A and B are shown apart, each in its own frame.
Chain A
């Protein structure tokens, strides 16, 4: 009888230990998931599925988190291929300078990412020869009236802006027959992040161990560009991200006697090795460019890009609403050089029932400043 009671007690005890371990593991997974989502938020343009069109250097400041700097180099190749290399460095809350690379490789807090993007685009007019011939006749008349030497150089957009009402309608009707008018992009990115940790596994001497870990991240995105009439409206994107990361164990403060005196000093250390986590995230993003008419010219002034990140493992959700203030154009239509800015608002919460974070706890905001690297555009 005593033996049975002992077995039951051991079983119950083991169950509690297992539950505690599961709870601890669950907590670490959640922390890793939250970090994964936050890292996208911290990185300038980090949540955007479509890579930047131009090389640029950007800085983002995140409320309560610190500052990230990023340099992104773009190269355009034949047949719709675009490649890129970016270096993203966490500068910290109070840091004044950052060194993404050191003689031993990338510095802690740095992510180096390679990116390859392929465009699939096969537009084609769905018009009969008779319809094209009729359109060409109208274009000849338009060209003659506007003193254009060769009507073959007239674009349907020109007619939609400067033509007669009947010509505008004809141009738009012809343009709307185009099959596969907006491209689809497939974007793949692989990156490596270096993170350093200080911890101890020795509760007697509290010997501090400093270790750096390099963890991979991989993202694949499918992006469908959206258009309306002669305008590019934005895009819709679905992405999958796999990442590995390490999460520090909880900090513990030890009070240690100072020599043989009656004084004590305290030492705060993470007790135990950092835990490794693999994180799988699905991201849905929609981008809408808002154009403000300036005479006959459309100028892109604002773009909004709401996205939802759902972390499968950690049951975490992050919703972002970036608002980009895109550089405008001068009165001759030349885009203005210089800084572009943006604000990004985010809310991160658990998706487990009843565990939604309060707005003040889950809310985060980011300021982005970006400058184009024009001298690299010829790459």
Chain B
């Protein structure tokens, strides 16, 4: 299985990490696209960060192939005013 991620940053900076045990498996910055192999039974960490000096828009699309109940396709689409920072982190484990 693999997780494929596409990032779009319009007017800001965006960083996405997929990690396991604090090791970065995949890092995407700004407008980027990438994939990494992941395995059942392992717990992964998904982190994203936004640094927006001006009004901006971000989009993160993440999908696991083949489909897995441990991670449903995710689409994050947000607008930011000037001078905003954001981010989040969550765990996922594939079945």
Known A132-B45, A329-B81, A335-B55; contact A156-B90, beta-carbon cutoff 8 A: no
A225 near B: Cβ within 8 Å?
Answer: yes
**Which of A78, A123, A175, A326 is B15 in contact with, Cβ under 8 Å?**
A123
User: By the criterion CB–CB under 8 Å, are A298 and B13 in contact?
Assistant: no
Q: B31 near A135 (CB under 8 angstroms)?
A: no
**Could you tell me if B89 and A181 are in contact, using CB atoms closer than 8 angstroms?**
no
Q: Is A289 an interface residue (CB 8 A)?
A: yes
Determine whether the beta carbon of B87 is less than 8 Å from that of A232: no
Number of interface residues of B (CB under 8 A): 39
Answer whether residue B1 sits at the interface, using C-beta atoms and an 8 A cutoff.
Answer: no
Most buried by B among A139, A152, A334: A152
CB < 8 Å neighbour of B88 from A129, A155, A231, A289: A155
Q: With the chains together, A81 CA to B55 CA distance in Å?
A: 20
Cα distance, A153 to B84, chains bound together (Å): 17
CB <8 Å contact, A127 and B89: yes
Does chain B have a CB within 8 A of A189? no
Q: Are B84 and A157 in contact (CB under 8 A)?
A: yes
Instruction: Tell me whether A231 and B55 are in contact (CB under 8 A).
Output: no
Q: Is the CB of B36 closer than 8 A to any CB of chain A?
A: no
**Most chain A C-beta atoms within 10 Å of own C-beta, residue among B19, B29, B51, B83:** B83
The reply to whether B84 and A230 form a contact with Cβ atoms under 8 Å apart is yes
Contact of B74 with A152 in the complex, beta carbons under 8 Å: yes
**From A54, A155, A300, contact of B83 by CB (8 A):** A300
| CA–CA, A152 and B60, complex, Å | 11
> Which of A132, A133, A225 has the most C-beta atoms of chain B within 10 angstroms of its own C-beta?
A132
| Bound complex: CA A156 to CA B50 (Å) | 11
List the A side residues contacting B84 at CB < 8 Å: 157, 230-232, 298
A132/B83 in contact, CB under 8 A: no
Whether A175 lies near B87 (C-beta < 8 A) is yes
Pick from A80, A127, A232: contact of B29, CB below 8 A.
Answer: A80
Docked pose: A182 CA to B85 CA in angstroms = 9
Closest-CB distance, A335 to chain B (whole angstroms): 4
Most-contacted residue by chain A among B43, B86, B88 (CB, 10 A) = B88
Given A121-B29, A136-B91, A334-B55, A230:B85 Cβ within 8 A:
yes
Chain A contacts for B31, CB-based, 8 A: 76, 78
Contact B81 A230 (CB under 8 A): no
Are B13 and A121 in contact, CB atoms less than 8 angstroms apart? yes
Complexed CA–CA distance, A150 and B62 (Å): 13
B52: A residues at CB distance < 8 A:
232
Are A80 and B30 closer than 8 Å at their CB atoms?
yes
- B89 → chain A closest CB, angstroms: 5
Does B75 contact A178, Cβ atoms closer than 8 Å?
Answer: no
**Could you tell me if B86 and A157 are in contact, using CB atoms closer than 8 angstroms?**
yes
B54 at the interface (CB under 8 A from A): yes
Minimum CB distance partner of A233 in chain B:
B83
Q: Is B4 part of the binding interface, using a Cβ–Cβ cutoff of 8 Å?
A: no
In the assembled complex, the Cα of A154 lies from the Cα of B76 at a distance in Å of 8
Quick check: is A291 within 8 A (CB to CB) of the other chain? yes
**Are B51 and A178 neighbours in the complex by a CB distance under 8 Å?**
no
A299/B82 in contact, CB under 8 A: yes
The residue on B at minimum CB distance from A297 is B81
Residue of B nearest to A301 (CB): B82
In contact, B51 and A225 (Cβ under 8 angstroms) = yes
Chain B residues within 8 Å of A78, by CB: 29-32
Flag whether A270 is at the interface (Cβ < 8 A).
no
Residues of A within 8 A of B27 (CB): 122
14 example contacts (A-B, Cβ-Cβ < 8 A) are as follows: A80-B29, A121-B29, A121-B51, A123-B47, A124-B17, A133-B91, A135-B89, A152-B46, A157-B85, A175-B85, A225-B53, A229-B85, A231-B85, A232-B85
Q: Which residues of A contact B (CB under 8 A)?
A: 53-54, 76, 78-80, 119, 121-125, 127, 129, 132-133, 135-136, 139, 150, 152-158, 174-175, 178, 181-183, 225, 227, 229-233, 289, 291, 297-300, 326, 329, 333-335, 377
Known: A298-B82, A298-B83, A333-B79. 18 other contacts (CB 8 A): A54-B54, A119-B29, A122-B15, A129-B45, A132-B45, A152-B76, A152-B90, A155-B78, A155-B86, A156-B87, A227-B85, A229-B85, A230-B84, A231-B83, A232-B51, A232-B84, A233-B83, A297-B81
Interface residues of B (CB under 8 A from A): 11, 13, 15, 17, 19, 27, 29-32, 43, 45-47, 49-55, 72, 74-79, 81-91
